[in-house]
Amino acid sequence: MTAKKNSKKGVRKSVKKVAKTSVRKTSKTTPIKKVKTARPKPVAKKNVSAQVKTSAPKPAKAKKEMIPVLDLERYEVKTVCETGVKDNFVGSTRFAWIGSGQCGGRIVKAFYDLGYKKAVAVNTTYHDLDLLGLPPSQKFLMDIGEKGAGKDMGRGQQAAAQWRQDILHLTRKTFGTEVDHVMVCFGAGGGTGGGSAAELVSIAKDYVYSIGKTEPHKHVGVIMTLPTNGEANSPQVAENAYQVAAELGKMASKGQISPLIIIDNEKISRMYPGKTVREFWPSVNNTVAGMFDIFNRLSSLSSPYTTLDPVDYQSILKAGGCAIMGLTRVEKYKDRFALSSAVKQNLEKTLLSNGFDLSTAKVAGCIVVGGRRMMANTPNLQDNINFAFDVLADLTGKATIHRGIYEDGREALRVYTIIGGLDFPTQRVEELLATQMVTA
């Protein structure tokens, strides 16, 4: 037993010696370096979920109704449609009208008489409003403690700003929500109309935005009248007209209003000689409103030939800049050049201002209306009409031309032209100040 124990001890000692000597040898030959242990790479979630899928217990089924249902979830917002004052006209575009001052009130009254009943007139004096043939509920006195603005545009601006919310409320009540385009009308020489013009444009934009128009500047236009040279002899009138015309001209050029239509009273006075005092202004205003109405009416009608449709008409209204309209009756319609000459003439035979550069136009519309028998029996009439359209295209440069050919019961041929997106006629406005300086 002792011999065996001794032999075991000897074996253990020899093993220990061998281990020590082997360690010493390795330490001498190869020095031990500290090795940085790399961090374990994160396992992708997909693999984990794949691994856990088999081993993880299935989650308990959720209850069907975890969150209570509120009554608000069942509530749907309904679009409110307000008719306002009911119109009585035939047309593709639903217009509303805001007239300021004596001149603006007369213009909107002319449209009201044609069936455009969504019309509002504002003034700083009750005298002009009392004489205006509109329902009392559609007239508003901008009372600033004075009996009128007295050619002072500052008072006109103050009045519109002071009564802004009331005017906006009146437009919403009178116009309702079924409106496509709002036109602000005024005379450039007056204190109320000229002073309130920019503020009323802003109010009109607020209104159209409130009824869902996302681009208000394309749905608000202006009809502005320029004073005669005789009226412009007054320094105050000339200065008023120049200031407000320049301001509105910049707005039109920037596309902030569309369109700007300028009625030139000086030109009108030469076109309507011999009229009595009672006949003069109603004739002028009715002619302007009638031309406006013709395009709106025809664009709503179908034609067996060529139709100028509502989208075409709207593109002219929304083109920005200034717009002009003209009308000519053609007697010698069998003549190839008679129609083309009529197109040129009706740009001159218009109540609107001169001085426009037609090559700056963006879009135009030309409508030819003839009698049924004329359309059926006149040889080469289609060729003559096409030639007239081509002449308009040449006059307006690169403008888009919308064409319309209609027939009615009158055996006469008429040519209607409307041009939009024109540059502002700066020269005509500067003549207002020049006239005043020469007189002085």
In whole angstroms, give the CA distance from residue 427 to residue 338.
Answer: 31
CB neighbourhood size of 346 (10 A): 21
In whole angstroms, give the CA distance from residue 99 to residue 109.
Answer: 9
Instruction: Over range 272-277, report the average pLDDT.
Output: 82
Q: Would you place residue 250 in the very low, low, confident or very high pLDDT band (cuts 50, 70, 90)?
A: very high
**Residue 20 CA, distance from chain mean position:** 98
Question: In whole angstroms, how large is the CA radius of gyration of the chain?
Answer: 40
| 187: β partners | 225
| 370: β partners | 407
pLDDT score of 373: 93
Q: Are 345 and 275 in contact (CB under 8 A)?
A: no
With CA atoms as reference, report the closest residue to 426 among 258, 249, 289.
Answer: 249
In whole angstroms, give the CA distance from residue 90 to residue 428.
Answer: 35
User: Strand, helix or coil at 98?
Assistant: strand
Write the pLDDT tens digit of every residue in 13-26.
454 444 444 444 44
| Top-tier CATH class for 322-423 | alpha beta
Instruction: Over range 244-259, report the average pLDDT.
Output: 95
Which CATH number is associated with domain 80-318? 3.40.50.1440
Both tokens assigned to 179: 């409106």
**Residue 360 CA, distance from chain mean position:** 19
Taking 80 as the threshold, does the pLDDT of residue 40 lie above it? Answer: no
In whole angstroms, give the CA distance from residue 312 to residue 364.
Answer: 9
Which amino acid is residue 425, in one-letter code? P
| 408: β partners | 371
pLDDT score of 32: 46
Mind giving me the DSSP string for 110-138? HHHHTT---EEEEES-HHHHHTS-S-GGG
CB neighbourhood size of 60 (10 A): 6
For every residue of 58-83, which 3-state class applies, written as one string?
CCCCCCCCCCCCCHHHHCCCCCCCCC
Domain range list for the chain: 80-318, 322-423
How much is the pTM? Answer: 0.79
| 419: β partners | 324, 364
pLDDT score of 438: 47
Taking 90 as the threshold, does the pLDDT of residue 407 lie above it? Answer: yes
